[in-house]
Amino acid sequence: MSVPVVAVIGAGYAGLACAVELARAGVHVTVFERSHTLGGRARVVHKEHHRGIDNGQHILIGAYSELTRLLRLTGCSPKQLLHLPLTLHVPGRLHLKAAALPAPFHLALGLLRAKGLSWSDRLAMLRLMRWLKKRAFRVPPDMTVTGLLRETRQTPALAQLIWEPLCVAALNTPAADAAAQVFANVLRDSLAAGAAASELLLPRVDLSELFPVPAARFLATRRGRLRTGNAIEAIRPVAGGYRLEGDPGSQPWPHVVVATAPYHAGGLLASTGGCDRLAAQIDALEHEPIVSVYLALGKGLRLPEPMMGLVSDAAANPAQWVFDRGQLGGTEGLLSCVISAHGAHESLPRDELILATHAQLERQLGRRLPSPEWSQVIVEKRATIACRPGIQRPGIRTPLRGLWLAGDYIDSDYPATLESAVRSGVACANAILAELGRGA
């Protein structure tokens, strides 16, 4: 039996994507994960009074080609994702649904049929897309999303109902601070790329079951190993590679992939004694939170759409999106309300945040709602990096040969999403395979 040659630290989407690609090429890989739950910052959370819920709601789009490829590779059933045309529904304010046509007709017809938009709004949206296309979706590097909206003369209604919510959903950064170039990249590969690319793919299973659990099964059939509950505390360069403090084995690893969250990666890199500057760069990255408020409102409750936008303007209206988990394969009447990025809601105690979110839903849905049978607030204080102009995101290579990085914070056209996570993992695997002489 040959000795495994690659160790992956972290069983989130990036680490498991890297491990799957390596195992597919016949490389023996071992994944170390501190937790007993797979998925990293996109995972299921188990609580006493209800079945598992996610630590946050993630939206996939058709343009996420690498993640959807890996889902197929590891045996994801098509029934595990609900496919919807791009639909932006804000109760009483907006309903826009893209048509099943090639670009740009899918958006043009969707705009023509949209409810809640004036002709000035419609023309402003087309003006922004034309402005970006004319510049091949390249914008000044220091431009923010708010600056882009100002430059293209977007209406207040469009900014409030479409552009700012899409920005905070995709970049998890307020429009006033968010990098317009990254936002333009998202629009390029979604709205400007046709109906299939802009489709919404909403998971019908929890985020651990969507990819991490099938990835673990895939590894098991290819002599890969997954060590959960196994924290790696340090990485020490030795003859023949690296020794991992916390690894129950004794062999050195010729290749090690650090696929943890960035706030854990810095310490591991610093422990090598040869990556201090890179560790400092990663530690300097700023983060934005995501708060999920779950409200179990009982059987019989169903929203008009599985995913709906909410007008968020202060602590009294904290949520930006609400998902009907009953329409996504979950418990009937369970709503997941999402609050992205920093904001006034952070000053509220959890009980008050639950009350404020419930009251916001009643106001904006225009109906009385049952009191929650149970509620849960899940806070990811450092859910993603803050995607601002001029951010310095590291690459997959480190100063030390055989030591690699993977994660949603790695340099990418995309913001810190599940797609950017798996893309970094695949790129890392391909680079290792090239060094091993096995090809991509």
Could you read off the pLDDT of 379-426 as tens digits, one per residue?
999 999 999 999 999 999 999 999 999 999 999 999 999 999 999 999
Rounded to whole angstroms, the Cα distance separating 7 from 28 reads 9
Helix (H, G, I), strand (E, B) or coil at 102: coil
User: Strand runs (DSSP E) across 267-407, as ranges?
Assistant: 287-296, 307-309, 321-324, 334-340, 374-385, 403-405
pLDDT interval class at 4 (50, 70, 90) = low
Mean pLDDT rounded to a whole number for the chain:
94
What pLDDT sits at residue 52? 72
For residue 192, pLDDT over 80 is answered with yes
312 contacts: CB under 8 Å, gap ≥ 6: 165, 318, 319, 320, 339, 343
What pLDDT sits at residue 440? 44
Phi and psi at 384, nearest 5°, equal: -145, 165
Token pair listed for 126: 């087309």
What pLDDT sits at residue 1? 42
Q: From residue 374, how far is each of 27, 172, 260, 316, 354 by CA, in Å?
A: 46, 27, 32, 21, 10
Among 1-10, 82-91, 102-111, 189-198, which stretch is predicted with the lowest mean pLDDT? 1-10
Rounded to whole angstroms, the Cα distance separating 176 from 194 reads 28
For residue 2, pLDDT over 80 is answered with no
Tell me, yes or no, if the pTM score tops 0.85. Answer: yes
Query: Is it true that the peptide bond before 141 is cis, omega within 30 degrees of 0?
Result: no
Helix (H, G, I), strand (E, B) or coil at 250: coil
pLDDT interval class at 346 (50, 70, 90) = very high
Helix (H, G, I), strand (E, B) or coil at 79: helix
For residue 439, pLDDT over 50 is answered with no
Looking at per-residue confidence, does 103 or 168 come out higher? Answer: 168
| Average pLDDT for 54-70 | 90
| Average pLDDT for 320-332 | 94
What pLDDT sits at residue 102? 81
Angle at 52 between CA 373 and CA 66, to 5 degrees: 130
69-83 exposure pattern, b = at least 16 Cβ within 10 A, e = fewer: ebbebbebeeebbee
pLDDT interval class at 46 (50, 70, 90) = confident
| Average pLDDT for 152-172 | 96
Query: Is it true that the peptide bond before 104 is cis, omega within 30 degrees of 0?
Result: yes
CA 252 to chain centre: 33
* β-sheet bridge partners, residue 404: 257, 397
Q: Which helix (H) or strand (E) holds 349?
A: none
Token pair listed for 336: 């997941």
| Average pLDDT for 45-61 | 78
What pLDDT sits at residue 3? 52
Do the Cβ atoms of 235 and 244 come closer than 8 Å?
A: yes
